[in-house]
Amino acid sequence: MNVSNPDGIRYRYRLNELDSGWSEPTSLREIDFTNLLPGRYQFQVAASNPDEVWNPNEAAIAFEIEPSMIQTRWVQLAIVGFIVLAALGIYQIRVQQLHRQFNIGFEARVNERTRIARDLHDTLLQTLHGLMFQFQGVRNLLPGRTDEAMKSLDEAISETEKALAESRDAIQGLRSEPIARGDLAEILMTTSQELAHSANGNQEPPVFDLIQEGERHNLSPTTKNEVCRIALEILRNAYRHAHANRIETEVRYGDHNLRIRIRDDGKGIDPNVLKAGGRAGHWGLRGVRERAARIGAQLDFWSEAGAGTEVQLTVPASAAYETARDHRGNTAL
């Protein structure tokens, strides 16, 4: 090698584990390798003189690149394990969500059928039991007291018609499509018209007023179903049992809660019945209280004999409203 002319020296190199052959001759004395993976390497270099005569004795150096922490096998296995566990966790959460939704829907259906069974118990069974005694009385009046027997039969027929109407309304409770379609005010107005149309006997139906206040919100499906069922049950009781001249309903969409008030000027509810939570063998008051408890709502009754009844349902906004809002404004009906 001619050291008197160092600029004429050429070099060739190779990294055995990376290069398949020698590099092109170069005068550079520094070589950079990037993106080398962890492992053992051997770097070889050979030199030539200005006459391009290569030194047969190559210089070699071995070195090792240690893996970074994330490149170690145990860390990679830990990452894979974490991803698998995360996927299993997400799957379990989703399964639990679906299971919870199924249970909520199933419980709602069971509760609704329980309510209908209770309504049928209050109407059909008790009415039929009363009719049995009325027919027995008619039999005792025949044949000597025909006029009184006919009057008793007319009363029995009237009671039967009322029982059929109440049973039909209870069975119609199975159909939740109107609740799913309409908003709260529309449902209450439609129900009041149907109840007024099916008023007992020749009694003039009460005047019905409905007031809606505040910016109307979309109700969550579960809350909407329970709120509507509670309000409809209270309306049915007011139309059938209060003997009222006027029924007023107020729906107020507040920022902190949804409030519904239904009041009438009828005969009122016996304080002992309110205190006991309902009449023995009757499930109306118990049913609406159970529904209110399921959605975290507060249900209050005020009533005096001969002074009417007022019922207020208060539902927290967090349970009542969906995130999306209906900006159609306020409406007064």
What mean pLDDT comes out for the span 39-57? 84
Q: pLDDT at position 168, please?
A: 66
Structure tokens at 108: 């709602």
Examine the pLDDT at 301 and tell me if it is beyond 80.
yes
User: 6-66 maps to which CATH number?
Assistant: 2.60.40.10
CB 33 within 8 A of CB 26: no
* pLDDT band at 113; cut points 50, 70, 90: confident
Structure tokens at 59: 């210089």
Q: pLDDT at position 178, please?
A: 46
Structure tokens at 6: 């160092």
What mean pLDDT comes out for the span 210-223? 89
What mean pLDDT comes out for the span 311-330? 73
Kind and range of the H or E run holding 62: strand 59-65
* pLDDT band at 119; cut points 50, 70, 90: low
Q: Which residue has the higher pLDDT, 91 or 332?
A: 91
Q: pLDDT at position 329, please?
A: 40
- Rounded Cα–Cα distance for residues 205 and 197 (Å): 8
Alpha helix ranges (H) inside the chain: 73-120, 126-141, 146-172, 177-181, 184-197, 221-241, 271-276, 284-294, 317-320
Q: What are the DSSP calls for 169-218, one per residue? A: HHHHTT--HHHHHS-HHHHHHHHHHHHHHT-STTPPPPEEEEEEES--EE
What mean pLDDT comes out for the span 106-132? 67
Which of 74-83, 171-180, 191-200, 256-265 has the weakest average pLDDT?
171-180
Q: pLDDT at position 309, please?
A: 92
* pLDDT band at 55; cut points 50, 70, 90: confident
Q: pLDDT at position 88, please?
A: 92
What mean pLDDT comes out for the span 50-68? 83
Q: pLDDT at position 158, please?
A: 74
- Written as one letter, the residue type at 247 is I
Q: Which residue has the higher pLDDT, 180 or 312?
A: 312
Residues 6 or more apart from 230 whose CB is under 8 A from it? 260, 288, 291, 292, 299, 313
Q: What is the mean pLDDT of the chain?
A: 79
Q: pLDDT at position 311, please?
A: 94
Q: pLDDT at position 120, please?
A: 63
What mean pLDDT comes out for the span 305-320? 90
- Written as one letter, the residue type at 147 is D
The pTM of the full predicted model, rounded to 2 decimals, is: 0.49
Q: How far is CA 316 from CA 26, 228, 236, in A?
A: 81, 15, 25
CB 47 within 8 A of CB 39: no
The percent of residues in the chain predicted with pLDDT above 90, rounded, is 17
Q: 54 forms bridges with which residues in the sheet?
A: 48
Q: pLDDT at position 277, please?
A: 65
* Strand 207-213 with 246-253, pairing: parallel
Q: Which residue has the higher pLDDT, 207 or 155?
A: 207
Which of 5-14, 16-25, 162-171, 292-301 has the weakest average pLDDT?
162-171
User: 176-198+206-333 maps to which CATH number?
Assistant: 3.30.565.10
**CA torsion through residues 200, 202, 203, 206, sign:** positive
Residues 6 or more apart from 103 whose CB is under 8 A from it? none
Cβ-based neighbour number of residue 213 at 10 Å = 14
- Written as one letter, the residue type at 259 is R
